[in-house]
Chain A
Amino acid sequence: MLRMPRFSVQTPATIEEAVTALQSPGARVVAGGTDLLPNLKHRLEQPPVLVSLSRVEGMRAVAIDEATKMLRIGARVTLTGVSEDPLVREHFGSLAQAAGLVASPLIRNMATLGGNINLDTRCRYVNQTAFWREAIGGGCIKSEGNVCHVVPGGRNCVAAMSSDCVPVLIGLGAHVVLVGPNGRRELPIEDYYVADGTRHTTRDDGELSTEILVPLPTGPRRCHYSKWTVRGSIDFPLISVALRFELERDRIDAPITAAHVVAGVLGARPRRVTRLDDILGKALSDQGVASAVAERVHKQCKPLENVPYEAPYRRQMLRVHTRRAIEALVAAG
């Protein structure tokens, strides 16, 4: 039995009231609670007050903004909602796919997209009971200690960004909307994350993420999300790769005009794979394209011993999953 520490809960009715409530020192937002509550039960956080979004109006719509040519997804849309939404499925199949692969159906019925982009980083030395962490000598720099068990001597936390949706959203060029006491700001989701596992987003404590904006496709493309897990359900990814290929025509043998490859579960920030220029102009179905991309991913992505399974094994599997994902896209036509 895991009990939560004591806290009070505020239940504002509007975004403005929620932002006001968030200005209270140490306040934390709770929506679905599927990430926060286990962390509270493990005493990884002890906020004096939770600001619940349960009564807040809005933030639950999915709609196309014709003016900006963006799909606007409210931060409180559940992951089940994202995975089943007709607009998301029509325009962003890989996002629907990623949202539908998070944890289990029960978690997806509760968890929100806003929660998933703000998912705390995870590490095998952190997401344990307080008793467990005490037994390894009093935690680490992300919990109650001051050492890193993953990188001996390390001063920077390398806990892994384990969200399924985030690599996909980065690959799709999404933006996140934040509302704070000084108003609204919007930034590319790629710039939302920083390589520090103890504080991996650039969101201020007093800000609330209210919306995710995804630019609508301007031409034919093929997208895929690949996640490797210990079991077929419930688990966080061991590795993850989001792929997006823009094509000259809507055919699998058409030349690739742009390629976006993003890998997750490395450190606190998802990694955009670079130097993909040599596949531009080639067809996705060309001999060697799948393995060329897979080699780039393998070369640039170096998993750490921060989640289950050995890092060298996970690195090999990054190559395998990338290649298989592209082969699946080719097979699907």
Chain B
Amino acid sequence: MSSPSPASLLSVRINGEPVQVAVQPHHTLLEVLRYQLDLIGSKQGCDKGDCGACTVQIDGEPQLACLTLAIHAEGRDVTTVEGLATGHGGVHPLQDAFDRWDAAQCGFCTPGILMSAEALVRKTPRPVTDPEVRAALAGNLCRCTGYTKIIDAVIDASRLMHTDDETADGAGQAPTRPAAAAQ
């Protein structure tokens, strides 16, 4: 059993890289990411679990960094929005779709929404449906978009990711933005 100490050395993988950082026991993972590791993509919104702006993935599950004790990340795999595009040539298909669909307005909720959405599209072995996206994003508040463009973007990204699986010529090709979204 570890004894109480003012700071302890946290060993964690962040976006695939092993990181060691001295953390205070009363600091959250979000505070360590933002203020010690300069990973400011994860946002500090309500800071009490209501808004989802701080969503990161811990061992692949979307969770709230603002309610995670930093030391609870010991030995875990943490992915933040900064690591989302790793393995996707710099831009994740979700990020690309958010751009095309104007799914980010002020952008504050976007990193958290991307992390929730990525877990959904990764775990779903086919294009996702509207109710699935709504359920998966039910913990992420957006005060700008009214959600419609976000949901459309996630569905579109998921559809394209599965098109890419089946036909090589779909890869890298800019899809046509449906007319309904162009208003």
Q: How far is the CA of A80 from the CA of B28 in the complex (A)?
A: 22
CA distance A109 to B74 in the complex (A): 17
Q: Which of B1, B50, B116 contacts A10 (CB 8 A)?
A: B1
**Partner of A52 from B50, B61, B72 at Cβ < 8 Å:** B72
How far, in whole Å, are A33 and B70 apart by their CA atoms in the complex?
12
Say yes or no: is A7 at the interface (Cβ < 8 Å to chain B).
yes
- A-contact bits for B132-154, CB 8 A (1 contact / 0 none): 00011011110000000000000
Question: With a CB–CB cut-off of 8 A, which chain B residues contact A234?
Answer: 50, 138-139, 141
B122 within 8 A of A: no
Residues on the B chain within 8 Å of A67, using CB: none
Interface hub of B2, B26, B28, B49 (most chain A Cβ within 10 A): B49
Is residue B163 contacting chain A, with contact meaning CB distance below 8 A? Answer: no
In the complex, what residues of B have CB within 8 A of residue A12's CB?
A: 1
Chain B residues with CB under 8 A of A11: 1-2, 71, 74
Q: Complex: how many Å from CA A103 to CA B49?
A: 9
A105 touches B1 (CB 8 A): no
A24: nearest residue on chain B (CB-CB)?
B4
B62 within 8 A of A: yes
The interface centre, meaning the residue of A3, A8, A30 with most chain B CB atoms within 10 A of its CB, is A8
| Interface status of A106 (Cβ within 8 A of chain B) | yes
Are B1 and A33 neighbours in the complex by a CB distance under 8 Å? Answer: no
Contact for A7 among B2, B26, B74, CB less than 8 A? B26
Interface hit among A34-42, A246-254, A277-285, A319-327: A34-42
Q: Which residues of B contact A232 (CB under 8 A)?
A: 138
Q: Mark B61-77, 1 if CB is under 8 A from A, else 0.
A: 11110111101101000
Determine whether the beta carbon of B4 is less than 8 Å from that of A9: yes
How many angstroms from the CA of A261 to the CA of B72 in the assembled complex? 39
Looking at chain B's contact residues, the main secondary structure is: loop
Residues of A within 8 A of B62 (CB): 105-106, 109
Question: Nearest Cβ distance between residue B24 and chain A, in whole angstroms?
Answer: 8
A206 to B97, CA, bound (A): 52
How many chain A residues sit at the interface, stated as a range, is 35 or more
Asked, given contacts A33-B68, A109-B63, whether A233 binds B1 with beta carbons under 8 Å apart, the answer is no
Interface residue SS majority, chain A: loop
Q: Is B183 an interface residue (CB 8 A)?
A: no
Bound together, the chains give a CA A263 to CA B63 distance in angstroms of 30
For the complex, is A6 an interface residue (Cβ under 8 Å from B)? yes
Given known A34-B64, A104-B138, A109-B61, contact A41–B1 (CB-CB < 8 A): no
Closest-by-CB residue of B relative to A51 is: B1
Q: A7-B25, A106-B55 are contacts. A49–B4 as well, Cβ < 8 Å?
A: yes
Shortest distance in angstroms between A231's beta carbon and chain B's nearest beta carbon?
Answer: 9
B72 cross-chain contacts in A, Cβ below 8 A: 33, 52, 54
Bound together, the chains give a CA A21 to CA B138 distance in angstroms of 37
Which B residues touch A104, using CB under 8 A?
A: 52, 138-140
Residues of A contacting B64 in the complex (Cβ-Cβ under 8 angstroms): 34, 106-107, 110
Q: Which of B101-156 contact A (CB under 8 A)?
A: 116, 135-136, 138-141
Given contacts A2-B47, A234-B138, A234-B139, is CB(A9)–CB(B69) below 8 Å?
yes
Is A276's beta carbon under 8 Å from chain B?
no
A106 touches B25 (CB 8 A): no
Q: Is B5 an interface residue (CB 8 A)?
A: yes
Bound state CA distance, A290 and B23, in angstroms? 56
Shortest Cβ gap from A98 to chain B (Å) = 16
**A105/B47 in contact, CB under 8 A:** no
**Are A4's CB and B26's CB within 8 A?**
yes
Residues of B within 8 A of A54 (CB): 71-72, 74
7 contacts between A and B (CB under 8 A): A3-B26, A7-B26, A12-B1, A30-B69, A37-B67, A106-B52, A106-B55
A-contacting residues of B (Cβ < 8 Å)?
Answer: 1-5, 24-28, 44, 47-50, 52, 55, 61-64, 66-69, 71-72, 74, 116, 135-136, 138-141
Given contacts A11-B1, A11-B74, A106-B63, 6 further A-B contacts (CB under 8 A): A8-B5, A38-B49, A38-B67, A105-B62, A105-B135, A105-B138
